[in-house]
Amino acid sequence: MTAPHSPPASAAPRVNPLQRLWLRELGMERLWLRPAPQPQAAPAAMPQVPVPKQESPAATPQVAVSKQESPAPAMPARVGAVPARDAAAPPPASAVRPAGPGPGLRNGPPPKPAPKAEVVTDAAPAVIPVAEAVKNATLDELREQVVACTACGLCGGRRHAVFGHGGQPTRWLVVGEAPGEQEDRQGQPFVGRSGQLLDSMLSAVGMSRERDVFIANVIKCRPPGNRNPKPEEIAACSPYLMRQIALLKPERILVLGRFAAQTLLGTDSTIGSLRGRVHQMKTEEGREIPVIVSYHPAYLLRSPAEKARAWQDLKLASRQL
């Protein structure tokens, strides 16, 4: 316990000025004026991702922050670069805030600058925007670009980018949302339970993923926890899908699920209003490709009663249009 009287002159209080005022009000100020603890060495097993600490205000560390950086993705930035906003998770508020009270911040010492995100670029090659890089890419080149892509923050958490897979010439291009856990592990699209259902749906209309169908996703890297992709991730990734469409020249496109349908058709209409009819998508070369919208297999697994509607969608897609 700290002596209630006469702290050493050099002692730095561990309370901020507002807290000091409160303590003074309570007549407890002196109890808290004790030498600042020596900064402790960071424990060996410090988490890489900042975890906001649940500490009492008096124990708010003044400096907790300097090491609060998320690891920059160790990938060569050939196509795209991780925007700083995505590369570094925002440090917790308690970490960047100096220990002074909120309102006094403006007049207090300037806060330490937040750590800057580092982008590791092997020999710093020029960063080419995705839309530019894909322009003249062949399918193999496009695959290489996708595998090495760092255009958004998703690259930091992926095991594999999932380019897509299928037969050529491509009769149907099937477009899903984004890789899930299994797809991220294996680097192939629709290989989990949804994929098994998709395969049987396709074979019910005489289609095979090896022979007639190319399967791809709007987003090539798995969003953490399978969350919905963010607008900036969609914007960064969609040039790849557009180039896939231009190169594969599918006879038609079957879009699975609300997210992919809305992205591809540029609408926020519900899936219920988008399915059951044939849309047209105009490619950059001016070609029109019929687009059929259906439910995502993951949704059908949860709502098997909707399989009858999905069957109608597949029959619509199989029709001579």
Length of the chain: 321
In the list 70, 217, 263, 294, the residue contacting ligand URA (rule: CB under 6 A) is: 217
Q: Cβ 170 to ligand URA, closest distance in Å?
A: 17
The Cα–Cα gap between 150 and 163 comes to 14
Residue with tokens 């697994």: 301
Which of the stretches 5-13, 53-61, 189-197, 239-247 binds ligand URA when contact is defined by CB under 6 A? 189-197
The DSSP-derived string for 135-177 is TT--HHHHHHHHHT--SSGGGGG-S-----EE-SS-SEEEEES
Q: Between 122 and 306, whose beta carbon lies closer to ligand URA? A: 306
For residue 278, the minimal CB distance to ligand URA (Å) is: 22
| Chain residues 159-188 in contact with ligand URA, contact rule CB under 6 A | 176-180, 183
Question: Which residue lies nearest ligand URA, judged by its C-beta?
Answer: 176
* Contacting residue, 189, 223, 239, 250, with ligand URA by CB under 6 A: 189
Residue 45 CB, shortest distance to ligand URA, in Å, is: 34
Helix axes 307-318, 193-204, angle to 10 degrees: 50
62 versus 186: smaller Cβ distance to ligand URA:
186
Q: Which of 263, 179, 260 is nearest to 225 (CA)?
A: 179
| Nearer to ligand URA (CB atom), residue 91 or residue 180 | 180
| C-alpha to C-alpha distance for 226 and 179, rounded to whole angstroms | 8
Burial bucket for residue 76 (CB in 10 Å: 0-12, 13-18, 19+): middle
Question: Among 16, 194, 262, 263, which residue sits at the site for ligand URA (rule: CB under 6 A)?
Answer: 194
The crossing angle, in degrees rounded to 10, of helices 139-147 and 231-248 is 160
**Applying CB under 6 A, does 13 fall inside the site for ligand URA?**
no
Least distance between ligand URA and beta carbon 177 (Å)? 4
Query: Using the rule CB under 6 A, is 223 a contact of ligand URA?
Result: no
Of 34 and 222, which CB lies nearer to ligand URA in the complex structure?
222
Total residues interacting with ligand URA, rule: CB under 6 A: 10
Nearer to ligand URA, 153 or 180 (CB): 180
Distance CA 165, CA 175 (A): 11
Asked if residues 15 and 58 have their Cβ atoms less than 8 Å apart, the reply is yes
Tell me how far, at minimum, the Cβ of 72 lies from ligand URA, in Å.
Answer: 27
CB atoms within 10 A of CB 100: 18
Binding flag, residue 154, ligand URA (CB under 6 A): no
**Which among 74, 77, 80, 73 has a CA at the least distance from the CA of 239?**
80
Cβ proximity to ligand URA: between 183 and 233 the closer is: 183
Nearer to ligand URA, 104 or 304 (CB): 304
Footprint on this chain of ligand URA (rule: CB under 6 A): 176-180, 183, 189-190, 194, 217
